[in-house]
A and B are shown apart, each in its own frame.
Chain A
């Protein structure tokens, strides 16, 4: 696939790490904040790489790498604040980490030991959605609820909130996403549609899915669409802040197309070398989101090599913790399957649970004492 010419997106930081002006958007934060974004991105990448490796070692069933999309995720999530509510797809690892989800806990879904390790309401973070695009409808519905709860258009800007929903370029071909656009437009819902256009729906290039740039679809639905350099954390933050502000003030939805690139595979089950060229990947590597932020901060003097070394050490600690924590994740117990479904379980459900537990307890467990001993020992060692 040829490299698409992209000159109509918002960019505030060039791939070489130079700040540039844009007529409509400016990054209002300090270099300290940018350093915070860099830290977010570096830690997220290290976590992501570690999770990919864990899958290759057989410790995770599957992993969808976010490699290359760190700026789009970190820039946008840094524009949110409570009571905003964030609706991820399944690749927004940097978003979840920034919102306080523990790195080891993040793996439970992919290791099959728990469904969703965080509580949506507390984190302002909805569950990962593995069904493509379905979360856009959830987000619009939630946003309409915020309207009815009086969380939109108040004179006090801090009292206002909005929903932001993450999805990919492939999801825009889904009916759900288009329905969400229509509802959001019709109800002026306070929602930001944050599309990470990483160029491929698994192996399908975006050019085969859309005859026009994705952000221009928004005009057909009746709300603004804007394209931003998805590898430019400053531009993403600025554009997302603007869109969230519009939503919170009651001005309705916005579609943001963060133009980026998935450097890794769609998931660990996929081999991207079969559908894209090394040249293309190399071109995008030169636009890396982390290296440009790092170059800028080093040039501005906001950080130095010691700062980077310290961050590297922190990343290494995170990696070790993730490796060791992953294999030590607690195996779910049978009775837990009956929890988190109904608040006050009806008698019949409790009976079923007790019957099933009794049934399971009816088997011999010759190997259990050994296994338990071994298990506790491995936990005590904390190593695998």
Chain B
């Protein structure tokens, strides 16, 4: 006689409903003949017979809910002695008794009608359960075997080890089927020591272990308004802080001032080119500098620009007054080479640079950059125009190659394009001078001498030169600026340089 117990047909299921018995009592079945359809939480499945034999008894009724591991059918396979009384199973599975799976009366009948049971012969059935794959087919609750001698095992056991051992106390298995739970009993314990103080109103900051709930834009608003979110009363759903809460708190904090600027200030990360500017300018400002200025009539240079624009050689090139200024600066540097020098304080030497690597301060999409034209002093006007043209094209994209940004020796900054008259720039780090061009404007200008003196309208520009006063003195700076101005006023004089 074999007892077929409900297996777990899914993964980790604990019970199933008997949908339909395919066999009836007395039927002969072969191995793998379908016995019954059951329905689990996942699916309807058919259970095949593990044995050949005659259906002795259908234990579970159609429609009943059966625990995994409970017997559902007895099959007389004619081989083994009859199974041990099912009463024994019921006794070892008290939980089954609460389910209407067994009829008590037939159980009794079974005990009476089935002859008893050689202990050894039941072994094959119950032993096979030991092999079952971890589902609830075991007939008795799993319990950890008692230790032979808890203190005698392994390493010496100290107080800490004892606690750890206790936490693994083996009266309950570490792993057990999900339906095996232990009822917790009442705990009798007495208070010890002074009672804790009654809870009062905890300070908000002290309770800040739980972060205030607010959406990112609200957090941003609070930050912009300078508010600590933990100090804001929440009225939103689920205790969240809304934008209105933040504004209300801000109004309260400012004594009812309702004209709040939601963005008192905006904080933008300082990075990239702008961060580099901050660093180099701060560093450069450690150098003692002075500035000289000069207004000059650049009308002739403007006429020269117009003539050059119409020349075939300059077709397609960007010809601007800056070209003439740059060329003039190169020519003036040739006469005043200290302006194209670097001070090496560590070696107490002046490094006089052979080439003029002419930097042009450029406002690019990424911020201020100073690309330089290598060897600008060796270029003729056309070459210089081409170099400037290319530089402007590259600078517009903001993708200036690193090599263009290093080893500059002299810089021109043309703030005049923004309409200002002039300024006192800060040295490009490591250089000795920087020339600043103001805007070129039509202005009244005194020409002629003596009785011929008259006011005419000329194109006038303010030049300034900021220089490293450790290396360059006022006289040299003034001479240089005068040379530049002379060329701009009368470009023909360049032939003298």
Contacts and interface: CB of A to CB of B under 8 A. Distances in A.
Given A269-B10, A377-B124, A384-B124, A59 B43 contact: no
A280 interface: no
A355 B8 CA distance: 35
Contacts of B123: 370-371, 373-375, 377-378
Interface stretch (B103-111, B133-141, B278-286): B133-141
Contacts of A365: 145
Contacts of B134: 61, 112
B153 A384 contact: no
A100 interface: no
Interface stretch (B45-53, B233-241, B262-270, B351-359): B45-53
Interface string A318-339: 0000010001010100000000
Contact of A62 (B11, B125, B126, B146): B11
Given A53-B48, A59-B133, A363 B124 contact: no
A329 B42 CA distance: 29
B9 interface: yes
Interface string B304-345: 000000000000000000000000000000000000000000
Contacts of B11: 61-62, 269
Contacts of B145: 363-366
Interface in B200-235: none
A106 to B, nearest CB: 15
B360 to A, nearest CB: 46
A49 B48 CA distance: 11
A55 B9 contact: yes
A111 B7 CA distance: 13
A16 interface: no
Given A269-B42, A378-B124, A56 B153 contact: no
Contacts of B131: 59, 111, 113, 327, 329, 331
B119 to A, nearest CB: 8
Given A111-B131, A378-B124, A364 B148 contact: yes
Contacts of B447: none
A148 interface: no
B42 A270 contact: yes
B9 A56 contact: yes
Interface in A45-68: 49-50, 53, 55-62
Contacts of A364: 145-148
A268 interface: yes
Most buried by A among B11, B137, B146: B11
A3 to B, nearest CB: 24
Contacts of A270: 42-43
A327 B170 CA distance: 29
A323 B128 CA distance: 13
A358 B154 CA distance: 7
B147 A60 contact: no
B43 A271 contact: yes
Interface string A107-120: 00001110000000
Interface size class of B (residues with CB under 8 A): 35 or more
A211 interface: no
A238 to B, nearest CB: 36
Contacts of A62: 11
B5 A58 contact: yes
Interface in A343-384: 355, 358-359, 362-366, 370-371, 373-375, 377-378, 381, 383-384
Nearest to A61: B133
Interface size class of A (residues with CB under 8 A): 35 or more
A340 interface: no
A257 to B, nearest CB: 29
B31 A58 contact: no
B152 A362 contact: yes
Contacts of A323: 31, 50
A373 B43 contact: no
Interface string A289-319: 0000000000000000000000000000000
Contacts of A50: 32
Nearest to B125: A384
A274 interface: yes
B132 interface: yes
A384 B170 CA distance: 32
B120 A373 contact: yes
Contact of A57 (B50, B149, B154): B50
Contact of A362 (B31, B42, B120, B147): B147
A53 B146 contact: no
Contacts of B9: 55-56, 268-269
B223 to A, nearest CB: 38
Contacts of B4: 57
Contacts of A373: 120, 123
A58 B71 CA distance: 13
Interface string B1-42: 000110111110000000000000000000110000000001
Contacts of B122: 374
A162 B267 CA distance: 60
A112 B131 CA distance: 9
Nearest to A375: B127
A373 B10 CA distance: 32
A373 B134 CA distance: 22
Contact of B79 (A268, A377, A383): A383
Nearest to A356: B154
Nearest to B38: A56
B120 A363 contact: no
Contact of B127 (A111, A374, A383): A374
A365 B135 CA distance: 22
Most buried by B among A53, A58, A327, A371: A58
Given A57-B50, A378-B127, A363 B147 contact: yes
A271 B44 contact: yes
B130 interface: yes
B79 A363 contact: no
A42 to B, nearest CB: 16
Nearest to A358: B154
B33 to A, nearest CB: 10
Nearest to B8: A58
B46 to A, nearest CB: 7
B53 to A, nearest CB: 12
A58 B133 contact: yes
Nearest to A331: B131
Which 6 A/B pairs are nearest by Cβ-Cβ distance? A374-B123, A58-B7, A271-B43, A378-B124, A61-B133, A363-B145
25 contacts: A50-B32, A53-B48, A57-B7, A57-B48, A58-B5, A59-B133, A62-B11, A112-B133, A113-B131, A269-B42, A271-B42, A271-B43, A271-B44, A323-B50, A327-B128, A329-B131, A358-B153, A363-B145, A374-B122, A374-B124, A377-B124, A377-B127, A378-B128, A381-B124, A384-B125
Interface of B: 4-5, 7-11, 31-32, 42-48, 50, 79, 120, 122-128, 130-135, 137, 144-150, 152-154, 170
Interface of A: 49-50, 53, 55-62, 111-113, 265, 268-271, 273-274, 323, 327, 329, 331, 355, 358-359, 362-366, 370-371, 373-375, 377-378, 381, 383-384
